[in-house]
Amino acid sequence: MRNTATPPHTFPELEALIRERFTDMRPQFQAGAAYLLDNPGEVAVSTMRSLSQKAQVQPSTFVRLAQYLGFAGWAELRALFVERLAGDPKAYAFKAKSIVRRSNSDNLVAELFSAQRANLDASEPKSADRMLAAARAMAKARHVHIAGFRAAFSISFLLHYLYRLFRTSVSLVRGSEGSIDLELRAFAAQDAVVVISFAPYSAEAVRVAEAAKEAGAKLIALTDSAVAPIALKADHCILFSHESTSFFPSMAAATAVAESLIELVISIDDDKAVKRIEQAEEALHRTGAYVAK
């Protein structure tokens, strides 16, 4: 089915259109669209047949998806991904580095570290150009609320801990003892809400994201897909990879994203943040938080 609407002219316009229409798409279109947005570098350098195998859809699905989005065909849609790659120097790392998969080696430690490096390499081109805008939203907010549940809790705790070293206007949404309703009531239009979640997505994380939008707060999603439930209506979506050779997901890239966000907020705050960090460290030493040498 051909959509007669004017097609997007830039990659950000394409991403916005897919996110807007995602919930109304048929399942095959959703699978194809999700793969395209989550692997933009690969789309620019791979054949349609190769992409369809990895996305587990028929090659013709990409053609029909392109037409549904207003393009004449696949080539016109793919051109936006090629343009994105050419315009972003960081994205060339995608072509220079092959993402490391599980090797045939019996060296488990080497495999685990290879997977962590691969996640970092895969995440940078996905997130680097989005992070400054997210950091600015956090720096501008009256109050920042941070939420992550289950495996994502460690990332939310890290963000909260680091942010609190130089700003007190931050809260960690815990939802313990059934308190999540009270915590969500604190969201306001001048706030920013950071939600961390990845597949399988936490129901609590989705609930926090929905509450943020209802309150008119800026929603910042740290997740593994541009069409994740917490990402579809997010003001800022930062992607990370969490592939692992073990039974649990890798948090290396998510940790790097969280630390990078904090560094960017500090750079925006400039000397004020540095001074607050110095004061926090002095207080920690003075109150005996650290063991004396």
* pLDDT of 4 higher than 70: no
* pLDDT of 136 higher than 60: yes
- Give residue 38's identity as a one-letter amino acid code: D
CA dist list (Å): 106 to 34, 207, 250, 253: 34, 42, 20, 24
Choice between 105 and 40, residue whose per-residue pLDDT is larger:
40
Residue-wise pLDDT for 43-76, tens only, equals: 888 889 999 999 999 999 999 999 999 999 999 9
Q: In angstroms, rounded to a whole number, what is the distance separating the alpha carbons of residues 64 and 74? A: 8
Q: In angstroms, rounded to a whole number, what is the distance separating the alpha carbons of residues 291 and 288? A: 7
Q: Which of 98-102, 221-225, 250-254 has the highest mean pLDDT?
A: 221-225
Provide the pLDDT for residue 101.
42
Residue-wise pLDDT for 68-106, tens only, equals: 999 999 999 999 988 887 655 454 444 444 334 444 445
Residue 223, H or E segment: strand 218-223
Provide the pLDDT for residue 137.
96
Choice between 84 and 167, residue whose per-residue pLDDT is larger:
167
Q: Give the rounded percent of residues in the chain with a pLDDT score beyond 90.
A: 52
Give the chain's mean pLDDT: 85
Q: In angstroms, rounded to a whole number, what is the distance separating the alpha carbons of residues 257 and 163? A: 14
* pLDDT of 166 higher than 60: yes
What number is the average pLDDT over the span 280-290? 73
* pLDDT of 149 higher than 90: yes
Q: In angstroms, rounded to a whole number, what is the distance separating the alpha carbons of residues 136 and 261? A: 9
* pLDDT of 144 higher than 70: yes
Provide the pLDDT for residue 210.
96
Q: Domains in the chain, start-ordered, CATH in brackets?
A: 11-91 (1.10.10.10), 114-286 (3.40.50.10490)
What number is the average pLDDT over the span 173-180? 83
Provide the pLDDT for residue 86.
67
Lowest mean pLDDT among 68-72, 176-180, 181-185, 286-290: 286-290
